[in-house]
Amino acid sequence: MTTEAARSSHPIYFIGAFATGGLLTFMVHLNGELARYGNPLFSSWTAHGTGIIAAVILLLVVHRRRTPRLEKAPDAPWWAYLGGISGAATVILTSTAVNSPLGLSGTLALGLAGQVAFSVAADSWGLFGLPKRRPDRRDIVALGLVVTGAALIILFGRGAA
């Protein structure tokens, strides 16, 4: 049962995911600063450019010490390389929506809804080559609590007097 094996996974994955959520706050802030001096396209373009440099440096450091893999996973399909296109397109859509009557909070809240709907669909059907994990009642309750809490912060908490 691969599904059950995945359910008793190590807490390090949960800590890692939560910690990168924290990194996201600082990334959004820094990219926002860059967009304030330039524009959203410049900000995203520069972030991707400096990201390439950082990734190459990290790969040189990490992969020098890496022992070769014993089991070779099958090659990635061509579409798995398109995550960057999807990420780049996000910038265009969200910066358009932010400058509409929705504003920042409306865009963030609706983006949250889109992300949650996609993640439930992705797990339910095992979309794009990742394992299928039928979300159970506890997943839905957990998600409901997190989304309600996030919506409360976005719509009524942050930046409100």
> In the range 80-119, which residues lie near another protein by CB under 8 A?
80-94, 96-97, 100-102, 106-107, 110-119
Contact 105, 154 (CB under 8 A): yes
Binding mask 114-143 for another protein (x = CB under 8 A): xxxxxxx-xx---xxxxx-x-xx-xx-xxx
- DSSP per-residue letters across 71-127: SPPPPPPGGGGGHHHHHHHHHHHHHHHHTSTTHHHHHHHHHHHHHHHHHHHHHHHTG
CB of 61 to another protein, least distance (A): 10
Which residue among 2, 52, 64, 71 contacts another protein (CB under 8 A)?
A: 52
Percent of residues in the chain assigned helix, strand, coil, to nearest 5: 80, 0, 20
Query: Residue 148 and residue 158: Cα distance in Å, rounded?
Result: 14
CB of 66 to another protein, least distance (A): 8
Q: Is 1 in the site for another protein (CB under 8 A)?
A: no
CB of 57 to another protein, least distance (A): 9
Query: Looking only at residues 24 through 43 of this chain, which bind another protein when binding is defined by CB under 8 A?
Result: 24-31, 33-34, 36-39, 41-43
